[in-house]
Structure 1
Amino acid sequence: MTTGKQRIFVAGHRGMVGGEILRQLTADHDVDLVTRTHAELDLTSQSAVQDFFAEEKIDQVYLAAAKVGGIHANNTYPAEFIYQNLMIEANVIHAAHLTDVQRLLFLGSSCIYPRDAQQPMAEDALLSGYLEATNEPYAIAKIAGIKMCESYARQYGRDYRSVMPTNLYGPGDNYHPENSHVIPALLRRFHEAKLTDAPFVQIWGTGTPCREFLHVSDMARASIYVMNLSPEIYQTHTSEMCSHINVGYGSDIAIGDLARLIAKVTGYQGDVTFDPTKPDGTPRKLMDSTRLRSFGWKPEIDLEAGLASTYEIFRAEYDQGVAKG
């Protein structure tokens, strides 16, 4: 049945970003939303994806589906990371083209940039140096997704766009004590330290490396914003060879200061200490989001406020025994 509404496929709607994109589209846009779980549609199956697109008559695609993980997972399963992500991207983008989907947004990762890229990292730093070895297979897959979008735009005139998020946090995150990213890991550690009256929480490294963090709601809002930019405006600020757009908060914070801020948000009263014998990692990772700001977009959620609201959600899930991880 034809409704006249745009039929939008959110691939990866159960993930952190895809779920928030779905929520915002549901709340703020008069559209027909299409989703499939992995059990319903295996995005690594070319025939299944092509059959899905042929049947569903999709108008727009948010490609947020991906196999993701931390350093340990990337090091342990590099073949799965490069294979699954390449297949998801290739199948969805090509099937979208075959069924005349004109507008698609691909979500990448800041790990696409060289290990030693100049800070803050601008879009044209892509392919200018060596990648970080620990997540190179994943990064190469994400770079391939960007280049697929550029190639289908150049050869077929498709309006396929890419956005590169900085480090994200917020509802739907993974709070595993060992395999989660820094903010969810610290929220859990400080919460449990508060519950047990632990005298201190020790952080790996010196606490001096700086990282940028963006709330997932801002990332979803940016994705929808970029998707809905007119082609004329979008093309004015991009090019065939550098079409992706960074999405960042605009400033970074030292890990030590982040830990102390999370201690404040969680109400932990003990000490925050550091173990300088443990590795610090890259001294700084900050995205240059000048291109996105030139479109008129900026984040709305302050880091402390975002951490506080995220902690309340985590605490409720933790009490109920349903926090991811």
Structure 2
Amino acid sequence: MNTQPRIYVAGHQGLVGSAIVRTLRARGHTGIVTRSHAELKLTDQARVRDFFRSERIDQVYLAAARVGGIHANNTYPAEFIYDNMMVQANVVHEAWRSGVQKLLFLGSSCIYPRLAPQPIREQDLMGGMLEPTNEPYAMAKIAGIKLCESYNRQYGTDYRSVMPTNLYGPGDNYHPENSHVIPALVRRFHEARLADAPEVVIWGSGKPMREFLYVDDMAAASVHVMNLDRASYAAHTDPMHSHINVGTGEDVTIADLARLVGEVVGYRGRIGFDTSKPDGTPRKLLDVSKLKRLGWQASTPLPEGLRRAYAAFLQVEDKRLDSGRKRAAA
């Protein structure tokens, strides 16, 4: 008789969701349930309700989200707040209605105030103004945390939240305008190397500092937190700040990051900075002491993670180019 839990990974085709699926499979889980966006639109409450009624889910990893960098957040603020709030509300509520007791919500470090003390502690949430360039997305993620806390308080569920720092790695979005900083830099330096461009210009001054976590480390942390016994989790959190930061505890300037990406890609030209473009939050480093006390810490150094990320990007590019050649030959 199969006693393994049926685990629904919402957003399994995205950066974090795909890494969680890889991690669960590597640990022997066979009862993994997934649905593509075409199969299940999570903003549709009726369809989400039907899914939970029919699938008998035991655990949920809520990694589905509309995500993007500064440009995407500035261009589509209504979609970022609406889609994320609807997805979170539907999945959490229908999971509860169907009797799911264990759920892990994946948020973002952008939930914290723009000028929060460094490193940022979990209790700094809602202690100041958010970064304007991603405020709608951040508000949606804060609502997701409070949604989980509220269901725990009222219904006795065991819904937990993890707040990752900036993520990167296999499965990333390399769109030239809507991607986050590392995939955007990887594409730009790769294309500049192929074109033998004399210079790559980076948005902003290069002075802001950011923390970056390899996505498979994030997946391992998520599974670790999900599987903590309830007493251990409760002992390190409180009902009003139940989320846990996930990061490396180390940060780097955007300028130094750009130089690292250039080295990994093999670009030999100059790196310039367009100071007319926004920098975003000056610094964003997470305090990860709570997670370390719970027995987990990151293991992938940034240079090694960047090498793996670039290798994954090259695989994506090879498939794209091969597909283009086949279409041209047809």
Structure 1 stretches (4+) deviating beyond 6 angstroms?
A: none
For 1:92-125, what per-residue CA distance to the aligned partner results, in whole angstroms no more than 9, with x for missing partners?
A: 1111111111100000111111112111111111
Letter in 2 for 1:179: N
Residue 214 of structure 1 deviates from its aligned partner by 0.4
Question: What aligned pairs does 1:267-282 form with structure 2 within 5 A after superposition?
Answer: 267-282=266-281
Q: Secondary structure at the match of 2:255?
A: helix
Q: Which residue of 1 aligns with 2:157?
A: 158
Q: Which residue of 1 aligns with 2:20?
A: 21
Residues 275/136 of structure 1: CA separation in 2 closer, same or farther (3 Å cut): closer
Question: What aligned pairs does 1:175-190 form with structure 2 within 5 A after superposition?
Answer: 175-190=174-189
For 1:56-114, what per-residue CA distance to the aligned partner results, in whole angstroms no more than 9, with x for missing partners?
A: 11100000111222223322322222222111111111111111111000001111111
- CA distance, structure 2, for counterparts of residue 57 and residue 113 of structure 1: 35
For 1:236-291, what per-residue CA distance to the aligned partner results, in whole angstroms no more than 9, with x for missing partners?
A: 00000110001011100011111111111111122223344444332211111111
Letter in 1 for 2:248: Y
- CA distance, structure 2, for counterparts of residue 293 and residue 170 of structure 1: 22
Residue 206 in structure 1 maps to residue 205 in structure 2: yes
Question: What aligned pairs does 1:189-200 form with structure 2 within 5 A after superposition?
Answer: 189-200=188-199
Question: What aligned pairs does 1:168-179 form with structure 2 within 5 A after superposition?
Answer: 168-179=167-178
In structure 2, runs of 5+ residues without a counterpart are 323-330
TM-score normalised to the size of structure 1?
0.95
Letter in 2 for 1:114: P
Q: Secondary structure at the match of 1:185?
A: helix
Q: Which region of structure 1 is more displaced relative to structure 2, 79-88 or 241-250?
A: 79-88
Q: Is the CA contact 2:163–2:244 (under 8 Å) kept in the aligned structure 1?
A: yes
Residues 322/13 of structure 1: CA separation in 2 closer, same or farther (3 Å cut): farther
Q: Which residue of 1 aligns with 2:11?
A: 12
Q: Which residue of 2 aligns with 1:66?
A: 65
- CA distance, structure 1, for counterparts of residue 235 and residue 251 of structure 2: 28
Q: Which region of structure 1 is more displaced relative to structure 2, 21-30 or 314-323?
A: 314-323
Q: Which residue of 2 aligns with 1:55?
A: 54
Q: Which residue of 2 aligns with 1:125?
A: 124
Q: Which region of structure 1 is more displaced relative to structure 2, 108-117 or 71-80?
A: 71-80
- CA distance, structure 2, for counterparts of residue 14 and residue 130 of structure 1: 32
Q: What is the root-mean-square deviation in Å for CA atoms of aligned residues?
A: 1.6
For 1:5-44, what per-residue CA distance to the aligned partner results, in whole angstroms no more than 9, with x for missing partners?
A: 2000001111110011011111213340111111211111
Q: Which residue of 2 aligns with 1:3?
A: 2
Letter in 1 for 2:251: D
Q: Secondary structure at the match of 1:10?
A: strand
Letter in 2 for 1:248: G
Q: Which residue of 2 aligns with 1:140?
A: 139
Residues 4/286 of structure 1: CA separation in 2 closer, same or farther (3 Å cut): same
Q: Which residue of 1 aligns with 2:245?
A: 246
TM-score normalised to the size of structure 2?
0.93
Residue 322 of structure 1 deviates from its aligned partner by 6.2
- CA distance, structure 2, for counterparts of residue 99 and residue 295 of structure 1: 30
- CA distance, structure 2, for counterparts of residue 79 and residue 278 of structure 1: 22
Task: Count how many residue pairs are aligned between Structure 1 and Structure 2.
Answer: 322
Q: Which residue of 2 aligns with 1:94?
A: 93
Letter in 2 for 1:167: N
